[in-house]
């Protein structure tokens, strides 16, 4: 069924912050890959929880604790189903994608990766999907290889195949690059890695908010994402893991609620998913993320994806016509998410971002926590515009007008 166009003005009315003015100019928020703004429904859901249901889940038999438990566990099922995880036990609440990846590093990686084992990453990874594996490799005496990129910002699949022939223990990769916008074929990558005997870890921080994701169809062993990049609060994320993988893992953190019994002689762990959720959880974050899922499902993820594809197509067309602009990543909008990283002449990206800010346009500048990628591109940094459900063509025009001001200032 064809996706329905988003009703952008109605959507924008749900985000009060978009009415804000910056330096006297209308805010144009194009830093969504860093974090998204929050609709009223998410903020209200958190307030409603605290004013009507606040208690510690799983800790009491009184009415408020029962209500809090129902909200907490019901949210888990809804959020898991959003990414195709139909088994309640396979959905772990974390502080975000970074903690999710570290949970896998300690819980699965330390017991299973051995000396001289191969860990395969890609050159487009965020530091969060590099540093944990570097620490693991140093701990175990394993080695890391990075899949090279082609000139158009895609994975070099011939190189990937060469690495798979070396029987890696672990293959970790992003579904969508936070710099290049490149969308990887995770189903193909997971299938090939599985054939090679590897465990797969997918960083979905930049994909789950922007497109339909199904972990069962994908065939991954682990998948991580964050709530704050998909209209939810900060400090909440998800680790999806195959049950058989999670069952064999040791807890990442220890304390209350992750145990069944504690005696002076030792302890016995709780069942999944609670084994990995020590202490009082971020219940307000869970509630907010659940409300964000409701909001996105009401829009339809196919419609979200199509809206971003159209915006990126329009932005690429305008940028390619602009003097001095170098764009990184695929030129085909169907091959990339709602992210465009670029440079303007030899102007430092921080200077570009500062000039754009004066015009009310919020973008990101720097290495975007992807320094190996920057080194492979031969640049120290880039400017990044990233789009979401509330962005418009008019805001792309505002971005281009602000870049034209930068060209005038630097005489490009």
Question: Would you call 73 exposed, middle or buried from its count of C-beta atoms within 10 A (0-12, 13-18, 19+)?
Answer: middle
How far is the C-alpha of 38 from the C-alpha of 15, rounded, in Å? 6
β-pair type (170-174, 118-122): parallel
Contact present, 393 and 314 (Cβ < 8 Å): yes
Counting every residue, how long is the chain?
A: 412
Query: Which uninterrupted H or E stretch holds 217?
Result: helix 215-218
Q: At what angle do helices 63-82 and 283-299 cross, to 10 degrees?
A: 40
CA distance 155 to 122: 8
DSSP tally for the chain: helices H, then strands E: 15, 17
Count of Cβ atoms closer than 10 Å to residue 161 Cβ: 12
CA 290 → CA 47, 95, 273, distances in Å? 13, 15, 17
3-state secondary structure of 48: helix
335-345 burial, b at 16+ Cβ within 10 Å, e below that, comes to: bbbbbbbbbbe
> Quick one: which of 101, 306, 43, 384 has its CA closest to 220?
101
Of 5, 1, 3, nearest in space to 392 by CA = 5
Q: Can the peptide bond before residue 273 be classed as cis, meaning omega within 30 degrees of 0?
A: yes
Residue 353's nearest CA partner among 12, 5, 16, 22 is 22
Instruction: Determine whether 369 is an active site residue.
Output: yes
Which one from 190, 220, 369, 411 is the annotated catalytic residue?
369
Would you please indicate which residues are annotated as catalytic (active-site) residues? 369
């Amino acid at each position: 069924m064809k996706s329905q166009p988003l009703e952008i003005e109605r959507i924008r009315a749900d985000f009060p912050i978009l009415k804000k003015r910056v330096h006297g100019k209308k805010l144009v928020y194009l830093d969504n890959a860093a974090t998204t703004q929050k609709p009223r429904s998410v903020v209200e859901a958190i307030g409603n929880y605290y004013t009507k249901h606040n208690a510690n889940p799983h800790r009491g038999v009184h009415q408020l604790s029962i209500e809090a438990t129902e909200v907490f566990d019901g949210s888990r099922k809804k959020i898991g189903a959003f990414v195709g995880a139909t088994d309640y036990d396979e959905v772990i609440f974390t502080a975000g994608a970074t903690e999710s990846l570290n949970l896998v590093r300690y819980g699965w990686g330390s017991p299973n990766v051995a000396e001289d084992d191969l860990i395969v990453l890609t050159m487009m990874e965020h530091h969060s999907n590099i540093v944990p594996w570097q620490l693991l490799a140093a701990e175990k005496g394993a080695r890391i290889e990075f899949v090279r990129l082609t000139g158009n910002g895609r994975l070099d699949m011939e190189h990937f195949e060469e690495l798979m022939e070396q029987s890696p223990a672990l293959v970790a990769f992003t579904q969508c690059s936070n710099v290049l916008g490149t969308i990887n074929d995770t189903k193909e990558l997971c299938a090939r890695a599985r054939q090679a005997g590897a465990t797969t870890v997918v960083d979905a921080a930049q994909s789950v908010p922007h497109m339909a994701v199904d972990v069962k169809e994908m065939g991954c062993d682990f998948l991580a994402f964050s709530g704050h990049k998909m209209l939810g609060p900060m400090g909440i994320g998800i680790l999806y893991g195959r049950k058989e993988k999670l069952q064999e893992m040791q807890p990442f953190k220890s304390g209350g609620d992750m145990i069944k019994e504690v005696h002076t002689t030792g302890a016995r762990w709780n069942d999944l998913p609670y084994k990995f959720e020590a202490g009082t959880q971020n219940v307000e974050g869970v509630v907010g993320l659940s409300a964000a899922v409701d909001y996105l499902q009401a829009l339809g993820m196919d419609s979200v994806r199509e809206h971003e594809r159209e915006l990126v197509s329009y932005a690429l067309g305008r940028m390619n016509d602009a003097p001095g602009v170098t764009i990184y990543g695929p030129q085909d909008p169907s091959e990339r998410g709602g992210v465009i990283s670029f440079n303007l002449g030899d102007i430092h990206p921080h200077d570009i971002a500062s000039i754009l800010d004066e015009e009310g346009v919020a973008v990101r500048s720097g290495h975007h926590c992807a320094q190996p990628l920057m080194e492979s591109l031969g640049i120290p940094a880039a400017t990044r515009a990233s789009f979401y459900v509330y962005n418009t063509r008019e805001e792309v025009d505002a971005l281009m007008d602000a870049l034209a001001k930068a060209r005038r200032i630097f005489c490009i």
